[in-house]
Amino acid sequence: MPEDFSTPPPTSAAVPPPPPASAIPPYGYASPYAQGSPYPVYGQPPRKRRSAWFWVAIFGGSFAVIALLFTAMVWSITKSLSGDSEASIDGLGSGSKIGVIDIDGVILDADKVDTQIRKFGDDSSIKAIILHINSPGGGAAASQEIYNEVVRVRHEKNKKIVASVESVGASGAYYIASGCDSIYANNASVVGSIGVIMEWTNFGELMKWAKLKSVVIHTGTLKDAGDPTREMTPAEQAYFQALVDNMYGQFVHDVAVGRHTSDDKIRPLATGQVWTGQQSLQLGLIDKVGGFRIALMDTASSVGIKGEPTIARPASEKRGLIAALTSDSDTLFPNPSKLLDEAPGFYFMWK
């Protein structure tokens, strides 16, 4: 018997009737997933657009921040290039002050110390200067240049300059100290080493091992004296010894002038050796045994400052990104060619 397909098969669930026309929003059909859904649906009103003033504020604020950063960068570069810096003050008061300049490590560049001495010398509020020394010396010319600046400021500005040796005040550092009005050192400080040393590295054997040969074309028999690729000739040895002897004589004479004595009395002490502060006092190389605090109080009292003196120090050099980017490129990326730039050097230095 044929089946009757006129009646549809029963369903498990009744299909809900369509919503009335009044329930349908005017913006379109509602999604069956609208309730509880995190996403926007057609049945909701469109999001309100930002005001034009909002974007004006955003772009204006961004421009102001960029302009402020650019101004700060330009100011930092200008200040670092001009080298203008104010002295930092330790203590209260802004009247009479004692200027303190630190001389630390090997002395190779005199410009920085000379500038600090000159600024304190021109500052009428700085009544005296203390050179706080902790150095084995350094370049002969650099040490001599600072010595000359110390003597000039003392005489032209009529300003007292005192040296206070911390641990080491030898060779070129003692050269500078001898130009001061007085020298203080601790009992165990190392003082002296009056003498000159000249040195360089001879890498001739290394070049032979590497099968390299130096080729030099010059005029004058001593033009290439000190060539580090070969041994010195007797004439070159005598030539350099004469230069060292001349610098030695300058060293002895300047120390004698600074210590108010004669070359003949300094020369027996100018053997290159060092003494303790206690021994140096007996030899007349320093004026008083005592640390920085004693030197500070004595100096303040000698220039009429009563009580605790106010200390002025040169502003510390700030090293940041701007300073690094504006400095000499060789400090960031050393030039390999400078490894071969080893000319003979003359030093007032204790080793």
Q: What is the mean pLDDT of residues 32-55?
A: 57
List the single range of 31-45, 111-125, 142-156, 307-321 with lowest mean pLDDT: 31-45
Half-sphere exposure of 290 (CA within 13 A, CB side): 15
Cβ neighbours for 30, distance < 8 A, ≥ 6 positions apart: 23, 24, 41, 42, 43
The pLDDT-based confidence of 339 (bands split at 50, 70, 90) is: very low
Which of 43-52, 64-73, 213-222, 332-341: highest mean pLDDT? Answer: 213-222
Q: Is the pLDDT of residue 267 over 80?
A: yes
List the single range of 39-48, 66-75, 325-334 with lowest mean pLDDT: 325-334
Backbone angles phi, psi at 26, to 5 degrees: -70, -15
Active-site entry in 208, 223, 318, 351: 223
List the single range of 1-10, 44-53, 205-214 with lowest mean pLDDT: 1-10
CATH numbers and ranges of domains, the chain: 87-325+339-349 (3.90.226.10)
Burial (CB count <10 Å: 0-12, 13-18, 19+), residue 163: buried
Active site residue 223: yes
Cβ neighbours for 57, distance < 8 A, ≥ 6 positions apart: none
The pTM assigned to this predicted structure is 0.69
- For 177-212, how does the pLDDT look when each residue is reduced to its tens digit (9 = 90+)? 999 999 999 999 999 999 998 887 888 888 889 888
Task: Provide the 3-class DSSP secondary structure of residue 161.
Answer: strand
How many beta carbons lie within 10 A of that of residue 172, not counting itself? 31
The pLDDT of residue 213: 82
The pLDDT of residue 75: 59
- For 221-256, how does the pLDDT look when each residue is reduced to its tens digit (9 = 90+)? 888 787 888 888 899 889 989 999 999 999 999 999
Whether the Cβ atoms of residue 134 and residue 167 lie closer than 8 Å to each other: yes
The pLDDT of residue 11: 52
The pLDDT of residue 25: 54
Whether the Cβ atoms of residue 120 and residue 97 lie closer than 8 Å to each other: no
List the single range of 6-15, 123-132, 248-257 with lowest mean pLDDT: 6-15
The pLDDT of residue 42: 52
**Which percentage of the chain shows pLDDT scores above 70?**
69
The pLDDT of residue 97: 94
Q: What is the mean pLDDT of residues 145-154?
A: 97
Of residues 293 and 9, more confidence is placed in 293
Q: Is the pLDDT of residue 349 over 80?
A: no
Q: What is the dihedral of CA 173, 268, 274, 152, to 10 degrees?
A: -10
Cβ neighbours for 99, distance < 8 A, ≥ 6 positions apart: 87, 120, 123, 126, 128, 129, 130, 311, 312, 313
Largest CA distance in the chain: 149
- For 79-111, how does the pLDDT look when each residue is reduced to its tens digit (9 = 90+)? 544 444 445 555 444 568 999 999 999 999 899
The pLDDT of residue 312: 95
In the predicted model, what is the mean pLDDT of the chain? Answer: 79
Active-site entry in 143, 164, 171, 178: 171
Backbone angles phi, psi at 21, to 5 degrees: -60, -30
Cβ neighbours for 86, distance < 8 A, ≥ 6 positions apart: 315
Whether the Cβ atoms of residue 254 and residue 165 lie closer than 8 Å to each other: no
Active site residue 119: no
Q: Is the pLDDT of residue 314 over 50?
A: yes
Task: Provide the 3-class DSSP secondary structure of residue 131.
Answer: strand
Burial (CB count <10 Å: 0-12, 13-18, 19+), residue 255: buried
DSSP string, 54-106: HHHHHHHHHHHHHHHHHHHHHHHHHHHHHT--PPEEESS-SSSEEEEEEEES-
Burial (CB count <10 Å: 0-12, 13-18, 19+), residue 144: buried
Q: Is the pLDDT of residue 340 over 70?
A: no
List the single range of 71-75, 116-120, 199-203, 254-258 with lowest mean pLDDT: 71-75
* Alpha helix stretches (DSSP H) within 197-259: 204-209, 234-258
